[in-house]
Amino acid sequence: MNKKILSLAILFAGTTWINESFAQSIKPTSEADLASSIQAHQQLLEKTPLADFEARNVGPTNMSGRIVDIEVSSDRNTFYIAAASGGVWKTEDNGQSFDPIFDHHSALGIGDMALAPSDDNILWVGTGENNSSRSTYAGSGVYKSTDGGKTFEMMGLMNSQHIGQIQIHPTNPDVVWVASMGSLYSQNEERGLYKTTDGGETWKKVLYVDDNTGIIDLKIHPENPDVLLAASWERYRQAHDFIGQGKGSAIWRSEDGGETWEKSVRGFPQNEFVGRIGFDFARSNPNVVYALLDNQGEAEQEESEDESEKEEKKELKFEDFKGMSLDKALALEDSDLNGFLRRNRFASKYNASEVKRQLRTGKITTDQIANYNGDLTDANAALFSAPIIGAEVYRSNDSGKSWTKVSESDIRRVYNTYGYYFGEIRASTEDENEIFILGVPLMVSRDGGKNFSRTDSIGRPHSDHQSMWINPEDSDHILLGNDGGLYRSYGGGHRWDHLNTQMPISQFYSIMTDNAQPYNIYGGMQDNGVWYGSSIGTPDRPWDPLMGGDGMVVAVDTRDNNIVYTGFQFGNYFRIDKENGDRGRITPGHEIGTAPNRWNWRTPARLSIHNQDIIYMGSQYVYRSMNQGRTWERISDDLTKNEKSGNVPYATLTVVEESPLEFGTLYAGSDDGNIWVTRNGGGSWNRIDSGLPQNRWVSSISPSKFQEGLVYATLNGYRYDDFATMVYKSEDYGATWTSIQGNLPNESNNIIIEDHVNPSILYLGTDHGLYVTMDGGSNWNLYQGNLPNVAIYDMVIQARENDLVVGTHGRSVYVIELEAIHDLAKPKDMVMQ
């Protein structure tokens, strides 16, 4: 985060007023419309002809997904796991096996659970993850089970959308408190703290700050249930900007069971830089409570290298070219200039000779070289290098009335810049001075929070820690949930076992197949890199890794099934040779004198159907390589609106697709709502989104395999909290569009593809499952049964095997054999024959 971004965050922190340019221009889905959509989905589930059709899960489980909560019963062998977007799972044999118990309710994104201390059969589930990340799904209220998860009843708070915390009274299970964060991408008044005294029949809002501030954490005093602490969190996210702090963020205290509240101000920060807060009481000394703060205040920059060492290297820097004369530039040593160009990732066509040629002819200037990256901050670097204070630990010895900062060691790297993604702290159940803080690494302090160190040296778990349970009777027994799944320790965190063979809850961003025998499935996963595995495998059969980071789009050269193009967030893509392990970066650089590339989190990349040496990638421009990514040419101008800026890369291309029938016919879609087509390989582009909903995220474009000019498109309003279905087709290259929503419920849609043998069959992936039409979109059928109500990001058809491969964001990968669907789609008289 540079100074510009930091000052922007400061400007908007601490207020519910949002500047006109950041204001909501698209109306969020209402509670009534949300309820109607849930009902319509349920009706389709009850009458679908596809209910008994098989969807075979092929994993993986060896690299799992984000676990956000753990609830353990009095029988320690029985516990529940909440996956961020993969539902609720139960084990009764101490983690040897797990069963999903929440698959067909209104939302599989989970914010929090609570198990009644006085009755192990009472389990509450709050839908809608509370982490406020790019892949955080909105929920639709809270559910209650009174039979240990066998059945659930919806208990209201439908428009709460994201549940921060649920607490149940220790002796009276009819008394429940629910902390609601409210909507993520819009302002709403349904956020705040709710209380019921009749088991959820009625609710009373007992704490409310404003329509930008929700309640993220809530804890009950271990010995006095009238004393509660709540953490409010002001945050406002949009597709182009995220403000994760403000004066609305604070600690609140109640002494009457949550009926009235007072802000806890003594010793705890009360400024516009207060971000997410989490806390925990120490059971061994109940008046002691620790708070973990994401402090967004500015800190001094860390020195990465001694200035004298930099001077000694005498490497060329951007600022050296500012005002440099032509003669001096031409006199530079070629080796020095080439080193500068490669270090700073200039477009591959630029070497010392070419740069000097363009300088001589006046095509470029030295000032343009100096300003090559403009004001654009490297998005990946900004995640890790912002000058903010970050994580801090505070302690109270009077159950939250007053606070003292206790952390002395530098723990800013626990959060980096994204403290909104964490916020959990746990005190040992037997030692008030032993505390764990959950962030990118897992840290422990054994001196009351003064000093911290890593505690995961043996069986080191995955990073990005989200949840922890410590056994009240034995503090050495710990369960840990993170972005890599579930871990268990019987050694106080010194040693860990990965319980990773039973829950296929990986969160896929993309999916692809090759033509091997049997074929392999490839996919990029949230925070878990890029992996591939056999299509005939079972969930517990391990997949193999290809790349780290947040795994993104995969393209496979099926001529030998060996060359794979893939990478991680913000356009960092590589060509990988699986046979020898060679890999080389292929991300194109922009031309000197043009605006720097803006890469989407999930940057589009496609191999040409007509020639697999040809690759397309999209920033705000479309790039084409004719030689496997070794060199690139830009074949479009900026295809976005480029009207909004903030601290999230925006005005980027999200889709680049090629017609299977016509080489040179390409479609491109952007996150700010533009759709374009070229029919001459990028020589000219026509904008074709007239008649479509405007300013929505273009989530997929699918040119037909059967008819020239026929193309399908899906738009997504999720980043405005607009959950309407937007699915369209055009038969004239996008000149006109027709809705094919038919009988679909309103659910954000992510991907549409056409069947490979029957042009009337289409497959649609939404935030709540898979839909199939057999008449071109007039009527849709819900494909559920053993396929849960899970978000589907990507799909691909392996034509040789007649398989539909479904990449879900929360339940790993499913394979559907299409013969039964093809038979069902045949006219009845043809089937009779």
543-563: b or e for each residue (b if 16 or more CB lie within 10 Å)? beebbebbbbbbbbbbeebeb
Q: Is 598 left (phi over 0), alpha (psi -120 to 50) or beta?
A: beta
Q: How far apart are CA 771 and CA 630, in angstroms?
A: 39
Tokens 């003292």 — which residue? 404
Domains delineated in the chain = 3-47+64-300+387-498 (2.130.10.10), 48-63+691-833 (2.130.10.10), 307-381 (no CATH)
Grouping H, G, I as helix, E, B as strand and the rest as coil, residue 287 is coil
* Cβ count near 315 (within 10 Å): 12
- The reported pLDDT for the residue numbered 303 is 55
- Provide the β-strand partners of residue 424: 438
Q: What is the residue type of 774?
A: M
Grouping H, G, I as helix, E, B as strand and the rest as coil, residue 608 is coil
DSSP-derived secondary structure for 395-456: EESSTTSB-EE---S--GGGTTT-GGG--EEEE-SS-TT-EEEESSSEEEESSTTS--EE--
Instruction: Spell out the residues 6+ positions from residue 398 whose beta carbon is closer than 8 angstroms to its own.
Output: 287
- The reported pLDDT for the residue numbered 787 is 95
187 DSSP assignment: -
Q: How far apart are CA 568 and CA 657, in angstroms?
A: 20
Low-confidence ranges of the chain (pLDDT < 50): 1-24, 305-310, 830-833
Q: What angle do CA 20, 24, 28 make, to 5 degrees?
A: 165
Q: What angle do CA 443, 448, 450 make, to 5 degrees?
A: 70
* Cβ count near 298 (within 10 Å): 17
What CA dihedral angle connects 568, 571, 577 and 581, to 10 degrees?
A: -50
Q: Where are the beta strands (DSSP E) in 755-808?
A: 762-766, 769-773, 780-783, 792-798, 803-808
- The reported pLDDT for the residue numbered 298 is 87
- The reported pLDDT for the residue numbered 687 is 98
- The reported pLDDT for the residue numbered 301 is 64
The structure tokens listed for 529 are 């890199």
* Cβ count near 374 (within 10 Å): 10
- The reported pLDDT for the residue numbered 618 is 98
Please state the pTM of the whole predicted model: 0.94
Q: List, for residues 538-574, the tens digit of each pLDDT value.
A: 998 999 999 999 999 999 999 999 999 999 999 999 9
60-73: b or e for each residue (b if 16 or more CB lie within 10 Å)? bbbbbbbbbbbbbb
